[in-house]
Amino acid sequence: MAELDTSSGGEKGGKVRSKKQSTKVDLTAMVDLAFLLITFFMLTTSLSKPLAMDIAKPDKDEKNDDNKLELRASQTMTILLGKNNKVAWYMGEAGKSTPTIEGFVDIRASLLKNKENVKKTTGKDIIVIIKPAKGSTYKNFVDIMDELNITKTNISAPAIDDDPAHLQEGEIQAMKQGGIY
Amino acid sequence: MPRVKVPRKSTAIDMTAMCDVSFLLLTFFILTATARQPDPLDIKTPSSTVQFKVPDKDLGILSIGKGKVFFEIIGQDVKKLTLQKMGEKFGTTFSPDELKRFAVVSAFGVPIQSMKQFLTMNGDQREKSGIQTGIPTDSTTTGQLYQWIQQSRLATAELHNTDMRITIKGNSEEEYETVRKIVDVLQKQKVNKFSLITSAEGAAK
């Protein structure tokens, strides 16, 4: 172990005799501590890195706002984000089918079900439109994008339509009825 | 019959080398660990199941909380050039000393008019004085947030020859409306792809 030679050359002329003491230090505890700290720093450096969710939005044209993309009604599912952590979703066109009001727990099942239905009836992939309305929080938005990721309903990129002017009358009506607008 | 004598050996091992190595590693990890800067806005990011980690360079972070917007540019050289360009745009010149001070600022949220005053303060004063009112977000092309983003993108392209990744770090409870305004500013300069910073959640089932 770590030690120093403390013995003096000879003791012939030495009058003062000090007791020889070993300089061996038990390093076990020190090594333990060092490894504990190493583990801590190793884990925190890689774990503290935040994660990034990529979002792509359609190009916006300032001059003419009517560069709308026509979507097949049979293929689209519109999800409206409302207040109190609730969503309303409907298939097809606004006003023609009554939106279902749901919480974030149930939306996953609905997404999966609709995805399957669309695939079965049209043979195409589902297109999801997200419309965050008044009262929805940022967390709601991240959550719904995450649900799309989990359920793999984002094969054709989800359309995020967050312009409040694009909310249709029928949609607002339905959300008001559900008490989430 | 003679008894076989097993010589007793000491069980003490020389720990010196092990100790050396472990402390070397410890030093390495301590030095590479980036100190977490205190966030001026108390932001609780929402969680998600995505696995993609944020890169640590060529990055601009827009923090949104309490209706305010803060901006953070990663990389000292980019920061300096951005401030210089901003000064040119808004008719103020920043001295080399001020540029140096700005290079170590993390997230900031001051109008460009009070930037000089902001730079003379130390961390504590910045927090207390309430000077950080957020970057003005009017969505015109001469708006400050618009310019900050654009100038930092230009600076990144100039220095590192890559695109800057814009990320949004929003507070969970923030109204989506506030976030939308910021996104509109981004879209105005044709940044249609950006990332949202989230914290980790259990893997998808």
Q: Which of B12, B14, B195 sits opposite A55 (nearest CB)?
A: B195
Q: Which residues of A touch B52 (CB under 8 A)?
A: 51-54
What is the CATH classification number for the domain harbouring A123? 3.30.420.270
Lowest average pLDDT, out of A33-42, A45-54, B95-104, goes to A45-54
In a domain, B79, yes or no: yes
A24–chain B nearest CA distance, Å = 10
CA distance B107 to chain A (A): 16
* Residue B42 included in any domain: no
User: Which residue from A minimizes the CA distance to B10?
Assistant: A1
pLDDT classification of A24: cutoffs 50, 70, 90? confident
Residue A35 domain-assigned (yes or no): no
Tell me the chain A residues in contact with residue B19 when contact means C-beta distances shorter than 8 Å. Answer: 27, 30-31, 34
Is residue B89 domain-resident? yes
Mean per-residue pLDDT over chain B, rounded: 82
Bridge partners of B195? A54, B167
Tell me how many domains chain B contains: 1
pLDDT at A68: 62
Rounded CA separation B47/B61 (Å): 17
What pTM, to 2 d.p., does this model score? 0.73
Give the integer Cα–Cα distance in Å for B109 and B135: 5
Is A64 a residue whose pLDDT tops 70?
no
Question: Cα-atom radius of gyration of chain A, to the nearest Å?
Answer: 33
Residue of chain B with shortest Cα separation from A30: B19
Residue A120's H or E segment, with its range, is helix A107-122
Question: Is there a contact between A139 and B26 if contact means CB atoms under 8 Å apart?
Answer: no
Q: Using CB atoms, pick whichever of A34, A55, A132 lies closest to residue B26.
A: A34
Residue of A nearest to B32 (CA): A45
| A1: in domain | no
What Cα–Cα distance (Å) separates residue A6 from each residue in A1, A9, A14, A61? Answer: 14, 9, 14, 84
Q: Which residues form the domain of B135? A: 47-200
Average pLDDT for residues A159-165, to the nearest whole number? 74
- Mean pLDDT in residue range B4-24: 84
In a domain, A9, yes or no: no
In a domain, A79, yes or no: yes
Domain extent, residue A138, equals 73-177
Q: Span A40-58, mean pLDDT?
A: 77
Residue B109 lies in a domain: yes
Per-residue pLDDT at B203: 47
Domain assignment present for residue A142? The answer is: yes
A14 Cα to chain B: minimum distance (Å): 33
The closest CB to that of B48, out of A42, A51, A57, belongs to: A51
**Mean pLDDT to the nearest integer, B89-99:** 85
Structurally, chain A folds into a number of domains equal to 1
Residue A40 lies in a domain: no
Percent of chain B with pLDDT over 70: 93
User: Which residues 6+ apart lie within 8 Å of B106 measured at CB?
Assistant: B37, B72
Distance from CA of B127 to the nearest CA of A (A): 24
pLDDT tens, position by position, B65-80: 888 888 888 888 888 8
pLDDT value, residue B24: 92
> Cα B64 to chain center, whole Å?
13
Residue A30 is assigned to a structural domain of this protein:
no
pLDDT at position A2 over 60: no
B61-75, B96-110, B131-145, range with the lowest pLDDT: B131-145
CA gap A147, B64 in Å, rounded: 23
Residue A163 has pLDDT above 50, yes or no: yes
- Is residue B37 in some structural domain? no
- For residues A113, A114, A119 and A124, what is the CA-based torsion angle, rounded to 10 degrees? -150
| A155 part of a folded domain | yes
Q: Which residues have CB under 8 Å from B98's CB, separation 6+?
A: B83, B116, B119
* Chain A residues whose beta carbon lies within 8 Å of the beta carbon of residue B22: 31, 34-35, 38
Largest CA distance in chain B: 103
Q: What is the DSSP string of B79-109?
A: HHHHHHHHHHHHT----HHHHHHHHT--EE-
Hey, how many other C-beta atoms are within 10 angstroms of the C-beta on A111?
23
Percent pLDDT > 90 in chain A is: 1
Residue B204: per-residue pLDDT: 44
